[in-house]
Structure 1
Amino acid sequence: DSAIPNENHLIHKFKEWTKTDNIMEFAYSLLHYRALLDSFVIKTTDTPETWAICRYSKSMNTSSSDSNPYKDDSSRMILLQSMLRVTFTDQRRVFISPLLEHIDDYYNENIDHDNQSLQKLFDSIHEWCRSTLCKQLSNDGNNDLCQAICSAAKKGTGTSHFLMNMLDYLIWDAEHSKNNSSTCIQPLINKHKDILDKECEGIHQRIFDDFQFRYRNSIEHFFPQNPSSTTDRGEDKSEVSEELRDNIGNLCMMTRSENSRRGNLFPSAKVEQYSSSDQSLKFHIMAALLKKEETWNNNTVKKHATTMHKLLQEFLSCECDSSNCDAATEA
């Protein structure tokens, strides 16, 4: 059954089963999907919030060994699955069930896991992300996807964590595809790659190489939502109008503890304290823009919002006129 796993559904099914074949089929499926879960789905390592995918397999040299089923694209699969894992923290079954179904199709289609079947697996998971995000955006009652993106891009702390994490994944995917010739997977961002590359200028490659999804569970305002008059600005001349502070161009993900400790700092102070730590890629882009522009103001917020808006458009396969969206107006 393709429904989200639920013990109440299972009890109902048990009552329907009267033949031994039903029970044997269920037992086989249980073992089969457990094997897929163990071999193809991420697990945490001994280091907190560090993810890995490995399976136990026979080797010519030893009786057994760990191997990765995704070949040269293991890092991409780890990032994709960990993005879902940290997003749906209280609803793991929301993505685990469809993920296992897609992996099952991949496993059955080609036991050797060639490049074509691997591309198909990524396509199917990306499509699930795309449709799930579209449904999430349209839940606000806006059936126009372009307007739904505009609306979602100015919600401040109410901004979808899935949307924010998806942006980080799109940014990483574009950079990874550009610098990894061994990958066989087509990048998700092509049309707006040059715009993204321009915003990523000045970010050290190790930031992308070392990036991992963490349980960043709080929306942070780069320019503080409610700046305190007692906070020392130093030489920071940044100023963002109140109506743009909740704009996606002024937002990134952080852990709740980081946000509560330093939420009222001005942009330059945040960059000074966080630039060398494991922050979201969106934070690093905003930090690079701040350094380049030497300030953080309405224009930089709008400029960054426009880029993020275009990434979402391309991923969600919709054509929108950003100039008609007050959440992302060209600077």
Structure 2
Amino acid sequence: MELRETIIYENNFEASNNTIHWDFIDNGCNVENFIFNFYDYLTWKQDPNKYTNFEFTYRTSVEHFYPQHALEGHPQLDATTGLNDFGNLCLISRGINSKFSNNMPKAKLDNFGRGNGVDELSLKLNEMMDFVRQTQQWSTPEIYDFEKKARTRILDGIVKGSINANIKKV
């Protein structure tokens, strides 16, 4: 049974003991798309006025912000250094994915940052680009820092959603 089916059918749309199995989420390109959409929803929900031009659209390609195959001269990350962690992943369209290629995060920001099609990008990717814009950095420490904040946002969203949900159970 897939993760989303477990949440829906076994857990009746509720978080069980407010625990998230991060091994399903820190799973590189195998992370379920709905996790990214849920994250974007929670981000949007925090301040809808900040994201007035954002639209939830069809995005199906999981992208490593720090690339799987770093360009020469840059460190190669792996599973032990945050490469496949949720903090380094985002959901984008296939068209943008082919343009991202193996570019480093700073190059991705320079080519696709705010003002260059921001409405087409996920809110998570925009937050990651904002981080790079502010710090000029994106490697293991930044991935772990972003991951910590993302985990808190997702867990808070689940806990609040469980408390506030008005879902009719069949």
Q: TM-score range by the shorter chain?
A: 0.7 to 0.9
Stretches of structure 2 that go unaligned for 5 or more consecutive residues are: 161-170
Task: Tell me the secondary structure at the aligned position of residue 69 of structure 2.
Answer: coil
Q: In structure 1, give the amino acid aligned to 2:7.
A: C
Aligned residues: 147
Aligned pairs for 1:208-219 within 5 A = 208-219=51-62
8 Å Cα contact 1:154-1:246 kept in structure 2:
yes
Secondary structure of the residue aligned to 2:34 is helix
Q: Which structure has the larger Rg? A: 1
Distance 1:271 1:299 in 2: 18
State yes or no: 1:245 paired with 2:117: no
Q: Give the residue type in structure 2 aligned to 1:247.
A: D
Alignment match, 2:63: 220
2:146 is paired with a residue of what secondary structure? helix
Q: Structure 1, residues 297-331: CA drift from partner, whole Å, max 9, x if none? A: 1111011111111111112219xxxxxxxxxxxxx
CA distance in 2, matches of 1:167, 1:269: 24
Q: Distance in 2 between matches of 1:136 and 1:211?
A: 31
Shift in Å, 1:153: 2.4
Q: CA shift at 1:228, angstroms?
A: 4.0
Question: Deviation string for 1:216-252 (max 9, x for gaps)?
Answer: 11001000012243xxx7xxx7x56312111000011
**Pair 1:157 & 2:38 matched:** no
Structure scoring higher RCO (CA < 8 A, sep ≥ 6) equals 2
- 1:54 aligned partner: none
Residues 32-181 of structure 1: pairs in structure 2 closer than 5 A: 134-135=7-8, 146-148=19-21, 150-176=22-48, 179=49
The residue identity in structure 2 corresponding to 1:293 is T
Match of 1:257 among 69, 73, 95: 95
> In the TM superposition, what is the alpha-carbon distance from 1:292 to its structure 2 partner?
1.6
Q: Which runs of 5+ in 1 are unaligned?
A: 1-130, 180-204, 319-331
Q: Hey, what does 1:310 align to over in structure 2?
A: 152
Does the 8 Å CA contact 1:217/1:253 hold for their aligned counterparts?
yes
Secondary structure of 2:91's aligned partner:
strand
Contact kept, 8 Å, 1:240 with 1:297, in 2: the verdict is no
Which residue matches 1:185? none
Q: Percent identity?
A: 23
TM-score, structure 1 normalization: 0.41
Match in the other structure for 1:189: none
